Structure 1
Amino acid sequence: MTVLVTMAETVPNREIAEVVGIARGNVVRARNVGHDVVAALRLLVGGEVSEYTKLIAEAREQALDRMTAHAQSLGADAVVSMRITTSTIMQGAAEILVYGTAVRLK
């Protein structure tokens, strides 16, 4: 079963029958030494630090996958009002949290 995910408060052309709870997924990722060396060199010459861009993109997708799995376990058809937030856990490690309202659709 596919869970629809939207940042909107509703699903177009669908009616929400029931709110089943808050669906959430998170992941904490840490940098690694190899990426840090390359990133330090990029700081000298400028430009995007693609190693960190890739790391955060992977973490975001993993957190989103965990949220949709949580929504499925709640019996939801969709997640509305989805949001993504980040926080620093410690130097070199960050949390990505994805959350939203899990709902059943008519």
Structure 2
Amino acid sequence: MLISNMEILPGKEVKTHLGLVQGSSVRAKHVGRDIMAGLKNIFGGELKGYTELLQESRDEAMERMKQQAESIGANAILNVRFSTSSVAQGAAEIYVYGSAVILE
């Protein structure tokens, strides 16, 4: 499955546009990560626990989008975009979406 944030790909032609595909993941903060984040707020530095949490969420959302595209027969997803939102105290959603297509 080819996944790109570009609308068109040089040397490739969109044969069929199959529509919007999407994936999301909602994750809550972990108490242990909150403690380390509190210390980092005092001393400074990267919040690695949160970085890992967001990377896991992005990976999961991308995989869900990819599965949806495969289920409708796409071989590529173009114009991919990410969005985030807070859904509850201490929980955030990563949302990814794009256009499922068949490329020649």
SS at match of 1:52: helix
Q: Deviations over 1:6-62 (max 9, x none)?
A: 000012211001111111010000001111111111111111111101100111011
RMSD of equivalent CA atoms: 0.8
TM score, norm. by length of structure 1: 0.95
> What's 1:96 paired with?
94
Fraction of identical pairs, as percent: 43
1:21 touches 1:74 (CA, 8 Å); kept in 2?
Answer: no
> What's 1:22 paired with?
20
Question: Shift of residue 90 of structure 1?
Answer: 1.1
Distance 1:72 1:87 in 2: 26
The one-letter code sitting in structure 2 at the alignment partner of 1:85 is S
The one-letter code sitting in structure 2 at the alignment partner of 1:99 is Y
Question: Shift of residue 69 of structure 1?
Answer: 0.8
Distance 2:74 2:32 in 1: 41
Contiguous gaps of at least 5 residues in structure 1 = none
Distance 1:83 1:22 in 2: 11
TM score, norm. by length of structure 2: 0.96
Structure 1 runs (4+) deviating above 2 angstroms are none
Distance 1:42 1:56 in 2: 17
Distance 1:105 1:53 in 2: 34
Question: Shift of residue 5 of structure 1?
Answer: 0.4
Residues 1:62 and 2:65 are matched in the alignment: no
